[in-house]
C-alpha cells in the first residue's frame, strides 16, 4: 500500500516486455495509448505534487494562509498571481493533467472487456471521487469555472455557476460512495490505498463531510443531512489519511524538498502570524513546524515584506525530508469538521469538545510531541474548549488553522469559511487576504467571451470576489 516504487517498477516491466521489431518505428516518448492504471497513478501523483508544492511559481497557499513569510522576494505574499502565472499553472495542472488523465482512465476502464463488473464499478468510483476532489479545489480557488463542457471538444467551454457545480459534485460523490467496497483490483496503481476500495469509501465520506461544512452557512439543512450521513464512515485515525508517501529521490520526492533543500535557496521563513499565537499558547508543535529558534524562541517574520533570513526561524526539518508525505485530507481535519458539525447541534456521534480535543491531540502526536505535552496543551485555559476565548466556531477555527500547517490550501479555505483567526494585510501593499484566484490570462486570450461572462456573473474577476460558500461575517 502507498508504494510508488512498486508501481513504477511494474509499469517499466510491462512496457519492456513483448517488444516487437515493428515497435522500433513507434515514438515511445509519445505513446498512442497509456494503461488506465498508469493514468490513474499519474493523476494521483500530479494532484499531490501540486497541492504539496511550495514553489512560488506554482503554489502559494502556504503564504496565503500566512504559515510562512518571504525573504528576498515578497510578491507572492502580497498576492501577485499574474507575473509568475500562478493562477494559470493551477488551472493547467488540475484541468489539463489531473482531470484529463482521470477522464481518459475512465474511458479505458469502461471499454475493458477483461475487468470484472465489481472491479470496474470500484475503479470508476475511485476516479469519480478523485475528480470530485479536483473540481472542488478548482471551484474553491476560482469560483465559477468550466465544468459541463470542460472535457468536450469545444476549446472555448462555457463556465458553470460554482454553487451548481457543487450540487452536481455532491451527487457524483454520493453515487461513488455507494459503489465502493472490497478490492478494486487497481493494486499498485493506487498509490495511496493499494486498491482498497473500503479505504476509498472512507476518503469519500471525509470529503463529503468537508463539502458539507463548506455548505453549512449557505444551506444548513442540506449540510446537516450530508454531515450526519457521512460521519459514521470518515477517517478513524491518522493511519487513514489520504496522503501520498513520497520516495527518497527525484522525481518521486516531496516537492517541498526541491525548494527547501535542493535549490539551495533561502526564500522562506516562519510567519509571525502563526508563531505568535503558538508561542502564546506554548504549543508543543513549534519545534516540529519550524527550526532555528532565535534566542530560544521560534520567531516569525512580518508577513508581506522582505525579511532577513538569518533573523527568523525557518520551515522545519521534517519538511526537508524528501519522503515527507503529502496530505490532502487528514484525520485531524476531519475531527475539526465534526467539531463544527456538533457545535451546530447536528448528530455526528460526539460533542464539539470531544472532536476538538481529538483533532488537537492527533495533530500534536503526529508531528512528534508527547502525550504528556498534548495533555498539558489541552489543559491550558486558553486552549481548553470550555474556557478559551471566542465563540465555539472561533475556537474550532483557530485550532483547525494551526493544525492545518502542512495543508496550505485547506488552511486558506478554513480562514475564508470562518473569517478567523484574523490574518493581517500584507505589509508592503496593505492588501487583504484574497478570497479567490483571478482567472488566468490565457482564458482572456483564448476564451474571452466565456470568461468575461463568468467575471460578470460573479461580480468581477477580483481577488476579493467571494465564492458562493464564503459568506461568514
Q: Are 326 and 51 in contact (CB under 8 A)?
A: yes
In a domain, 309, yes or no: no
Give the pLDDT of residue 34. 73
Q: Are 234 and 338 in contact (CB under 8 A)?
A: yes
Give the pLDDT of residue 18. 41
pLDDT tens-place string over residues 142-170: 999 999 999 988 899 999 999 999 999 99
List the alpha helices (DSSP H) in 143-184: 162-178
pLDDT tens-place string over residues 354-405: 999 999 999 999 999 999 999 999 999 999 999 999 999 999 999 999 999 9
In a domain, 451, yes or no: yes
By the 10 Å C-beta count (0-12 exposed, 13-18 middle, 19+ buried), 142 is classed as buried
Total number of domains in the chain:
1
Peptide bond into 421 cis (omega under 30): yes
Measured CA angle at 337 (ends 436, 410), to 5 deg:
30
Expressed as residue numbers, the domain containing 107 is 4-9+38-252+323-458
Give the pLDDT of residue 153. 85
Give the pLDDT of residue 16. 41
In a domain, 33, yes or no: no
Give the pLDDT of residue 21. 34
In a domain, 265, yes or no: no
In a domain, 112, yes or no: yes
Strand partners, 268: 70
Give the pLDDT of residue 33. 58
pLDDT beneath 70, residues of the chain: 1-33, 473
Can you tell me which residue has the cell 474553491? 140
Give the pLDDT of residue 1. 45
Give the pLDDT of residue 106. 98
The CATH number of the domain holding residue 152 is: 1.25.40.390
DSSP state for residue 185 in the 8-state scheme:
S
In a domain, 63, yes or no: yes
Give the pLDDT of residue 472. 84
Give the pLDDT of residue 386. 98
Give the pLDDT of residue 452. 98
Give the pLDDT of residue 4. 54
Give the pLDDT of residue 20. 40
Give the pLDDT of residue 19. 42
Q: Are 133 and 209 in contact (CB under 8 A)?
A: no
User: What are φ and ψ of residue 257, in 5° steps?
Assistant: -60, -40
Amino acid at each position: 500500500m502507498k508504494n510508488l516504487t512498486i508501481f513504477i517498477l511494474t509499469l517499466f516491466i510491462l512496457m519492456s516486455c513483448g517488444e516487437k521489431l515493428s515497435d522500433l518505428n513507434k515514438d515511445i516518448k509519445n505513446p498512442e495509448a497509456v494503461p488506465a492504471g498508469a493514468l490513474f497513478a499519474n493523476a494521483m501523483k500530479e494532484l499531490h505534487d501540486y497541492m504539496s508544492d511550495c514553489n512560488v511559481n506554482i503554489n502559494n497557499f502556504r503564504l496565503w494562509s500566512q504559515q510562512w513569510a518571504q525573504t528576498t522576494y515578497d510578491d507572492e505574499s502580497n498576492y501577485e498571481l499574474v507575473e509568475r502565472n500562478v493562477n494559470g499553472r493551477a488551472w493547467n495542472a488540475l484541468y489539463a493533467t489531473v482531470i484529463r488523465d482521470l477522464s481518459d482512465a475512465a474511458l479505458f476502464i469502461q471499454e475493458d472487456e477483461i475487468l470484472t463488473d465489481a472491479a470496474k464499478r470500484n475503479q470508476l468510483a475511485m476516479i469519480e471521487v478523485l475528480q470530485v476532489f479536483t473540481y472542488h479545489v478548482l471551484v474553491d480557488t476560482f469560483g465559477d469555472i468550466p465544468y459541463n463542457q470542460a472535457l468536450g471538444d469545444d476549446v472555448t467551454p462555457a463556465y458553470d455557476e460554482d454553487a451548481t457545480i457543487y450540487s452536481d459534485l455532491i451527487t457524483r460523490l454520493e453515487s461513488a460512495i455507494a459503489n465502493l467496497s472490497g478490492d478494486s483490483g487497481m493494486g499498485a496503481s493506487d498509490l495511496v490505498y493499494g486498491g482498497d476500495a473500503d479505504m476509498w469509501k472512507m476518503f469519500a465520506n471525509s470529503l463529503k463531510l468537508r463539502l458539507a461544512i463548506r455548505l453549512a452557512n449557505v444551506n444548513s439543512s442540506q449540510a446537516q443531512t450530508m454531515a450526519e450521513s457521512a460521519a459514521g464512515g470518515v477517517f478513524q485515525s491518522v493511519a487513514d489519511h489520504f496522503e501520498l508517501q513520497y520516495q527518497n529521490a527525484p522525481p518521486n520526492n516531496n516537492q517541498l524538498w526541491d525548494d527547501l533543500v535542493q535549490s539551495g535557496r533561502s526564500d522562506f521563513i516562519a510567519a509571525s502570524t502563526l508563531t505568535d499565537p503558538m508561542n502564546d499558547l506554548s504549543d508543543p508543535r513549534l519545534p516540529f513546524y519550524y527550526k532555528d529558534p532565535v534566542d530560544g524562541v521560534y520567531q516569525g517574520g512580518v508577513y508581506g515584506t522582505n525579511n532577513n533570513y538569518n533573523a527568523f526561524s525557518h520551515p522545519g526539518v521534517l519538511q526537508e525530508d524528501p519522503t515527507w508525505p503529502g496530505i490532502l485530507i487528514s484525520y485531524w481535519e476531519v475531527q475539526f469538521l465534526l467539531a463544527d458539525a456538533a457545535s451546530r447541534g447536528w448528530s455526528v456521534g460526539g460533542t464539539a469538545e470531544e472532536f476538538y480535543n481529538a483533532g488537537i491531540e492527533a495533530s500534536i502526536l503526529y508531528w512528534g510531541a508527547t502525550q504528556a505535552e498534548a495533555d498539558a496543551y489541552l489543559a491550558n485555559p486558553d486552549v481548553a474548549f470550555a474556557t478559551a476565548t471566542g465563540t465555539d466556531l472561533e475556537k474550532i477555527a483557530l485550532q483547525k488553522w494551526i493544525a492545518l500547517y502542512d495543508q496550505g490550501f485547506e488552511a486558506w479555505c478554513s480562514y475564508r469559511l470562518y473569517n478567523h483567526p484574523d490574518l493581517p494585510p500584507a505589509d508592503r501593499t496593505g492588501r487583504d487576504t484574497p478570497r479567490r484566484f483571478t482567472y488566468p490570462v490565457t482564458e482572456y486570450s483564448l476564451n474571452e467571451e466565456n470568461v468575461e461572462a463568468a467575471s460578470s456573473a460573479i461580480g468581477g474577476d477580483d481577488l476579493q470576489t467571494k465564492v458562493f460558500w464564503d459568506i461568514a461575517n
